[in-house]
Amino acid sequence: MITRRTGRFIVAAASVVVLSCVGAIAAAPASAATGFSDGGFETPVVAPNTFVTVFPGQPLGPWTVVSGNVDHIGAGFWQAAEGVQSLDLDGGQAGAVSQTFATSPLFAYEVSFALAGNPVALPVVKTGQVLVNGHVALNFSFDTTGKTEAHMGYVHREFAFQATGSTTTLEFASTTEGAFGPVIDDVDIQPCLLILCL
């Protein structure tokens, strides 16, 4: 299920049916902790001022490239939102990455991430999706007008999903054709308790 809550979404991992309800969340117990890691794409370390194109089956820390290819950006190549590295979801073509982590059924988890776009070339507007267990949880876009490698103009996006199993797979996918796609960094997942849905 997806519900809008003060500009955010609550998404049941099993479906993407829109419901007209209002949710509220509060801190969840430690038993709902996820083990999610490296939301800043800091591993493996990429040589400064360079990038590495990563294909399915190649290492990207705890992340897996599941389609196309992506560019893993090293320190100094352009501004990072957090730490020194980031990820362009288009390598030579639109790509997607995923990470599977532990969840507690019926608990809600809030996902946040920093979003920008490769400012080097067209298209100006970069687009993509976030999927939870293969279901689209969030469509996103970023306009690179006026942005540069030194001033990427990151914005933060967030949504929440309700877990339906002991593990959940989070996926970021580009829907931008070509080699200059959306850029993500500072991905974070925090457990929370869904306490109200009217």
DSSP characters for the chain?
-EEEETTEEEEETT---B----EEEEEPPGGG------TT---SPPPTT-EEEE-TTS-BTBBEEEES-EEEEPTTTS--SSSS-EEESBSSSB-EEEEEEE--TT-EEEEEEEEEE--SSS-SEEEEEEEETTEEEEEEEEE-TT--SS----EEEEEEEE--SSEEEEEEEE---SS--EEEEEEEEEEEEEEEE-
Residue 181 clears pLDDT 70, i.e. is over it: yes
Can you identify the CATH homologous superfamily of domain 2-197?
Answer: Galactose-binding domain-like (2.60.120.260)
Residue 198's pLDDT band (boundaries 50, 70, 90)?
Answer: very low
Percent of the chain residues topping a pLDDT of 90: 77
Which tens digits make up the pLDDT trace of 11-44?
Answer: 444 443 222 233 444 445 545 667 999 999 999 9
* Predicted structure pTM score: 0.86
Residue 57's pLDDT band (boundaries 50, 70, 90)?
Answer: confident
- Which pLDDT value is given to residue 2? 35
Mean residue pLDDT of the chain comes to: 86
Residue 67's pLDDT band (boundaries 50, 70, 90)?
Answer: very high
Which tens digits make up the pLDDT trace of 96-138?
Answer: 999 999 999 989 999 999 999 999 999 999 999 999 999 999 9
